[in-house]
Chains A and B, each alone.
Chain A
């Protein structure tokens, strides 16, 4: 198992390097730093001095890959690729290009708001969707099941943005139950979190419940269920005791892969509700064309995805004793 983990971790390095090279070529080769400076400075006729200064302040005034003017190791290290792309591997994210703040500090600060929305949504959502799907399966073949599936298909055909706008209008503006948007500290913080969590739960109800329902249905046609019925077990005991446990394997292992990415928050939700998390940070960075932040988020996103994949494999060994990692 230790050897397997080590191999998986080593395999992550070329993938992250690939991500790095891809973003590097997107940001620096397709367009030169001069183009970016011109766009950031935002005026049609920028003086060459202003561009030079912009590049110097952000350490973009170096060659891309090989610095022929430097000596020794600096030939490779004093380059844009090393300073702005490879440095991400040591979690040295640098400073934001639009406001000059330390990116690592911002990430640490914004992680908490992101998690305080994402974690409840994840945990409650999983429990809620599994129960809803279980209910549909319990009533399978009846009109409850049919109307539940119709509801799911209809719910998954609505854009997530309508759930947010509708939720803000109904709950926030019309009924005055919660603030429309914003984020608070201290004992009142939960009031701000209630609506985003609720909206997030409702918006993925259709897709996830339908998927989980199909997992249960797949399980219910297996031999052990028939055996249990033949032994005279009650339908509800079969469902809640045997089928639920076995169907939870694909559900849980499928959920594990997203756990690490919960840190990054949700782009749309946070930006609509004004939650100062990493999702809205990313949106702001995209809107202000802050390449340093976008680069960092791409790197972190890939890293967390790979961690999620490894966790998925590990979780298989935990819930299914037949699986061994070689």
Chain B
């Protein structure tokens, strides 16, 4: 079969989709368990949490689009010949952003500019030479006279984009309201009236307003980016908006896959140490004390340096830059996972120590249930809330850690787009006169929104899932425990 493209599954793609499957499976399963449904219902009713979820879904959408990789078929003259595929690995996001990819400039240009940022010597048609700002290849290329036409053109396109955004928002709002009405058995009119007054059980008005804000910003940006570099271009002329969108995936991969790597260690060792006690406990305690005593950055740095040596000596294993960068990203997740399981492990050990003395565990033991079965059926479900709180809290710390690690030089591959590499490349440009601020600005805004939403979501999850928070006895103890487990990842930052 001769496909026009060949799907490529990179390591992190596979793991990311595995994670999505795990989360969906967990959601399906917990629907039937009332004690799990109740806290999630509480999350769904918290306004801050649901606003955060709405934004996070948008981020996740970009990241997943950027995780469907393929290679294009090269055009052939002979019909029936074997199809060969281009060596370059592209993602679906790249295909959508094709004009931005191809429309690169020679060097810096400001947001919405039609001319370059630095003067060059231009040869006129009559042979004379002048020093002036040359026109851009992509930004404002349809304009005859940018000095006059640029601002009206931008305003016109922005208004058009805004109209399209409102249209999209109305459609989305209708879909969301319809879905909620379908699920709750109310009529569409009832739900929309309650949402309008802000009286629905779900914070529907907040969700819809967030969606509206997102539509009003994103759609005009997308429309404008067809003719302008809306966030400028960087040193080698790449569109900053495109680079920022690509960085989202890296941040999300580090934040989530690390958890996937860390969980098996923390779960198995923590529960075993707490349940068995004795020498098993001693060995596991020794293991995590040793690991957590090493400064996080240094352990990561040492491992990444060793991986670099390995990759240099086995350079032929990685056939393309994309694969090489992807391997490095996955390795970074593994290393971060190996260094960050200790906090959760300690916490699970403590919780299991308490649980094993409880009556139902004692009863199971008296009935002769095997220890493995007790741990799986009776202990694990009762420590799950700790696991969820930790992973959600750890996410934002990991996204922030990536930037730091990339600055230190032990983060992602330099060829990979990430917030860390963007900040690193842009910070030196602050010394320019006039200053090049847009790369840092975009990295800042996109990263801030991502981390802020992750923090808000984590707060909502913690409020709902932590039994101590539910009793309203001591929010601080919960926060302190959560801090203890986030400590190992945060020490990186």
Contacts and interface: CB of A to CB of B under 8 A. Distances in A.
Given A15-B286, A218-B476, A297-B295, A27 B306 contact: yes
A211 B455 contact: no
Nearest to B403: A159
A36 B309 CA distance: 7
Contacts of A130: none
Interface stretch (A54-62, A121-129, A300-308): A300-308
Given A31-B310, A35-B309, A298-B302, A215 B476 contact: yes
A217 B479 CA distance: 12
Q: What is the interface of chain A mostly: helix, strand, loop, or mixed?
A: helix
A9 interface: no
B301 A286 contact: yes
B408 A283 contact: yes
B215 interface: no
A165 interface: yes
Contacts of B294: 19, 22, 298, 301-302
A298 B299 contact: yes
Contacts, number: 145
B313 A35 contact: yes
Contacts of B435: 169
Interface string B260-293: 0000000000000000000000000010011111
A301 B408 contact: no
B250 to A, nearest CB: 14
B448 interface: yes
B134 interface: no
A161 B455 contact: no
A264 B455 contact: no
A160 interface: yes
B286 A289 contact: no
Nearest to A180: B431
Contacts of B477: 218
Contact of B456 (A14, A153, A214, A271): A153
A267 B430 contact: no
A18 interface: yes
B72 interface: no
Nearest to B303: A26
A211 B448 contact: no
B404 A291 contact: no
Interface residues of A, number: 54
A95 interface: no
A14 B282 CA distance: 12
B101 to A, nearest CB: 27
A158 interface: yes
Given A221-B474, A297-B295, A301-B294, A160 B480 contact: no
Contacts of A271: 408
B448 A157 contact: yes
B302 A165 contact: no
Nearest to B490: A207
Contacts of A165: 423, 427, 430, 440
A165 B441 CA distance: 11
Contact of B455 (A26, A157, A221, A261): A157
B269 to A, nearest CB: 15
Given A19-B290, A153-B455, A161 B427 contact: yes
B476 A214 contact: yes
A267 B290 contact: no
Contact of B409 (A261, A286, A294): A286
Given A19-B290, A31-B306, A302-B294, A218 B313 contact: no
State the main secondary structure of chain B at its contact with A.
helix
A250 interface: yes
Given A18-B290, A153-B456, A218 B306 contact: no
A154 interface: yes
Given A19-B293, A221-B474, A38 B408 contact: no
Interface residues of B, number: 54
B396 interface: yes
Most-contacted residue by chain A among B298, B404, B493 (CB, 10 A): B298
B305 A286 contact: yes
B310 A30 contact: yes
Contacts of B297: 267, 282
Contacts of B303: 26
Given A27-B302, A39-B308, A159-B400, A264 B474 contact: no
A84 B50 CA distance: 54
Most buried by B among A153, A154, A161, A287: A161
A268 B404 contact: yes
Interface in B420-449: 423, 427, 430-431, 435, 440, 444, 447-448
Nearest to A29: B306
Given A15-B289, A168-B430, A161 B312 contact: no
B300 to A, nearest CB: 10
A178 interface: no
Contacts of A168: 430
Contacts of A157: 396, 448, 451-452, 454-455
Interface string B397-410: 00010011001111
A268 B452 CA distance: 22
Contacts of A160: 400, 404, 493
A177 interface: no
Interface in A177-213: 210-211
B454 to A, nearest CB: 8
Given A38-B313, A157-B448, A305-B293, A297 B475 contact: no
B476 to A, nearest CB: 3
A184 to B, nearest CB: 20
B489 to A, nearest CB: 13
Given A159-B493, A295-B302, A302-B294, 20 more contacts: A15-B293, A18-B286, A26-B303, A27-B306, A31-B309, A31-B310, A39-B308, A153-B452, A153-B459, A159-B419, A159-B447, A168-B430, A217-B475, A264-B295, A268-B404, A268-B407, A283-B408, A286-B410, A298-B298, A305-B293
The 7 closest A-B pairs by CB, nearest first: A218-B476, A214-B476, A301-B295, A18-B290, A157-B452, A302-B293, A157-B451
27 contacts: A22-B291, A35-B309, A35-B313, A39-B309, A157-B396, A157-B451, A158-B444, A159-B447, A159-B493, A160-B400, A165-B427, A165-B440, A214-B476, A214-B480, A218-B474, A221-B473, A268-B407, A286-B409, A291-B305, A294-B301, A294-B302, A298-B294, A298-B302, A301-B293, A301-B298, A302-B290, A305-B292
